[in-house]
Amino acid sequence: MSHPMSTARVYRAHIFHIAGSPTQGSAAANLASIPDGALVVDDSGRVAWTGPFADLPAQWADSPVTRADYLLPGFIDAHIHYPQAYATAAHGGGQLLEWLDHCIFPTEGQYADPDFADRAARYFTRRRLAAGSTAAMVFGSAFPVAQDALYRHTLAAGLRVVSGRGVQTVGPATASALITGESEAIDLVADEIDRWHAVDTGDPRTARIQVGIVPRFSLSVTPTTLAAMGELYEEVRGRGVYFHSHLNENNRPGDGEIAAVLGTYGVDTYLDTYDGLFLPGSRRGGASLLGRRSVLAHGVHSQDSELARMADTGTSIAHCPTSQLFLGSGTMPWRRTLDAGVTVALGTDIGAGDEWLISRVAGDCYKVHISEDGESGIALHPAELLYAATLAGARALDMEHAFGNLDTGKDADFLLIDKDLWEPLHGMLTMGIRSDDEDEATLEELFTLLVGLRQPAIREVYVQGRRAVAPPL
């Protein structure tokens, strides 16, 4: 008998998730697969129970049941650009710096217009919802009006977001619309934090809306900006504010991003510029921006000392293999980065990434790392892909206590997937060859589900037990 006042709901499907709190390397040991599983969501939107449907405790025997083929934790996109929502698959005429100049700075300038920004925020929210990204670290627009639209629509849709206006205080002529003065840049960030950080609950451990300090990259700011950001971060770190930027993405010799950073600042490593050591010779010029709530995109060409410093400070990498293919950036060395102890989550990096679905990014992750040279090459385990797409993202966002898997007591953030909604997925899952060994067959099924999944098969998306709703077009 269910409690008369209870509004608990049961979701019945093949459930996959990474239980507990493993590292990437031990994800396989924590893979939970419950073929005819039940997830019970209580009135507060938390996971009350998971297990075989046949073992559903009597207290929920009368609760309404929703069925699907598969149930996965919500995907977590650890790096996606909101002001590049319309700039996927844009022909940029070169690698990172050319593409920024040619496609991205002009695109992002459009967000100054409130009507454009509102439409773009609705589009962005619809796209990430369709892709099942329940939580996302969203690289923001330079314009407060556009950031307001993003938070407003995310809140109404019932999704999670961490964002922050993209800060630029220096740059080429093509970026002029995005550039502000030094003190205005900091004032706008502080204002965004005050107006939006944890606005929904007042507590960064439970909030769905959170804010970060987000310089585009070291080349778009100055030592003065970095010093002021360090000062601001000292003030707001305790409130759970994030730091987000790009790191070591493009190493074209001579004039690529990394060469330009090292040349401009006269530092030993790119990471030093975010670590307060941005004066020539990597001397200290301000406070560090690294920490448990700091996420840096790419980390393709990091030095060992940078990886060690990220691991020490709890700074995570958002790995974006789809984007790295698009911009010819190379790929983050998988084994070396993980062996250094750095948390690696996945990011679409829309619009350098041309794919919104994190499981497709996981598929690209598989492809690029099996293609790494010699000893570095690795065929990632299906559980590692699921981990990277879900729990690793929650850890990178320092929100593992709240979501990332379906452990009892966590918020019920999950996806319902029906294979019939995407014929190729149905074909692969029902007609594909499977091992006679049951455990092996389960892993094969998970791999096919993740790599073969496409957006139409994501039927419903839930955050905190409530179905997320798309904003109007």
Residues making contact with ligand GUN (CB under 6 A) = 81, 96, 100, 104, 216-217, 246, 249, 323, 349, 352
Decide whether 216 or 244 has the Cβ nearer to ligand GUN. 216
In sequence order, the 6+-apart residues with CB closer than 8 A to the CB of 437 are none
**Smallest gap from residue 123 Cβ to Zn ion (A):** 18
The first and second tokens of residue 181, run together, are 């003065």
Taking the C-alpha atoms of residue 473 and residue 470, their distance in angstroms, rounded to an integer, is: 9
The first and second tokens of residue 283, run together, are 């001397």
**Smallest gap from residue 123 Cβ to ligand GUN (A):** 18
Taking the C-alpha atoms of residue 158 and residue 332, their distance in angstroms, rounded to an integer, is: 33
**Smallest gap from residue 176 Cβ to ligand GUN (A):** 16
**Smallest gap from residue 84 Cβ to Zn ion (A):** 8
- Residue 108 found at the interface with Zn ion (CB under 5 A): no
Residue 418, contacted partner among ligand GUN, Zn ion, none, CB below 5-8 A by kind: none
Residue 104, contacted partner among ligand GUN, Zn ion, none, CB below 5-8 A by kind: ligand GUN
Radius of gyration from C-alpha coordinates of the chain: 22
Decide whether 216 or 381 has the Cβ nearer to ligand GUN. 216
The first and second tokens of residue 427, run together, are 């074909």
- Residue 249 found at the interface with Zn ion (CB under 5 A): no
Instruction: Compute, in degrees rounded to 10, the torsion defined by CA atoms 265, 270, 275, 279.
Output: -10
Closest CA to 245 of 317, 303, 147: 317
Stretch binding Zn ion (CB under 5 A), from 56-64, 123-131, 181-189, 294-302:
294-302
Site string for Zn ion, 297-326 (x = CB under 5 A): x-----------------------------
Residue 232, contacted partner among Zn ion, ligand GUN, none, CB below 5-8 A by kind: none
**Smallest gap from residue 254 Cβ to Zn ion (A):** 22
Buried b (16+ CB within 10 A) or exposed e, 366-396: bebbeebeeeeeeebbbbbbbbbbbbbbbbb
Residue 388, contacted partner among Zn ion, ligand GUN, none, CB below 5-8 A by kind: none
The first and second tokens of residue 219, run together, are 């080349």
Residue 132: CB atoms within 10 A of its CB come to 31
Q: Which residue type is seen at 257?
A: E
The first and second tokens of residue 243, run together, are 């730091």
Residue 217, contacted partner among ligand GUN, Zn ion, none, CB below 5-8 A by kind: ligand GUN
Residue 213 · residue 169 · CB < 8 Å: no
Residue 244, contacted partner among ligand GUN, Zn ion, none, CB below 5-8 A by kind: none
Taking the C-alpha atoms of residue 290 and residue 309, their distance in angstroms, rounded to an integer, is: 9
**Smallest gap from residue 180 Cβ to ligand GUN (A):** 16
Could you report how far apart the first and last alpha carbons of the chain are, in Å? 43
Stretch binding Zn ion (CB under 5 A), from 65-73, 145-153, 167-175, 343-351:
343-351
By CB under 5 A, the count of residues binding Zn ion is 2
Stretch binding Zn ion (CB under 5 A), from 41-49, 82-90, 349-357, 399-407:
349-357
Residue 249, contacted partner among Zn ion, ligand GUN, none, CB below 5-8 A by kind: ligand GUN
**Smallest gap from residue 298 Cβ to ligand GUN (A):** 7
Residue 273 · residue 224 · CB < 8 Å: no
Taking the C-alpha atoms of residue 322 and residue 303, their distance in angstroms, rounded to an integer, is: 22
Instruction: Determine the Cα angle at 84 with ends 159 and 231, to 5°.
Output: 75
Residue 209, contacted partner among ligand GUN, Zn ion, none, CB below 5-8 A by kind: none
- Residue 349 found at the interface with Zn ion (CB under 5 A): yes
**Smallest gap from residue 100 Cβ to ligand GUN (A):** 6
